[in-house]
Structure 1
């Protein structure tokens, strides 16, 4: 069963570039992880503070392993300083 993830972010005022840079740095190492099938960052064209990561994983086990990687742990610490609100995560499966 493929797991789809939508992660939503809102940058604090003046932190848009820092958030974008941190999230973009996640793309290459995450795509190299076992079980990562898709990982792409999107920005709202009408609101530069709103960003979304769309992800697809082979399994929940692979996604859970992602949360323990050095690059994820690093970005999590950056997010604590640049977000206007907690990130939102939706885990979805196709039935």
Structure 2
């Protein structure tokens, strides 16, 4: 079962670049994880403060393992400093 994840993030005013940098730094280590099929951040062209990360994982266990990695723990600490509101994560599977 492939698990699709959509994470929506909104930066505080003036912290948009820091959010983008933090999410882009997650690409390589996330893709190196055995359960990661894809990981791609996207910027909203109409709202510089909003970014969306679209990910695919081999299943919920792979995503849970991702949340326990040092790079995810690091980005979580950065996000606490730059987000205007809590991140929203949707987990989807083909129905």
TM-score normalised by length of structure 2: 0.99
Rounded Cα–Cα distance in structure 2 between residues aligned with 1:26 and 1:38: 11
1:11 positional shift: 0.3
The alignment of Structure 1 onto Structure 2 pairs a total of residues equal to 95
1:50 positional shift: 0.4
TM-score normalised by length of structure 1: 0.99
Unaligned runs of 5+ in 1: none
Rounded Cα–Cα distance in structure 1 between residues aligned with 2:59 and 2:71: 19
Indicate the SS of the match to 1:76: helix
- Aligned residue for 1:88? 88
Unaligned runs of 5+ in 2: none
Query: Is 1:6–2:6 an aligned residue pair?
Result: yes
RMSD value over aligned CA atoms?
0.4
- Aligned residue for 2:40? 40
Indicate the SS of the match to 2:86: coil
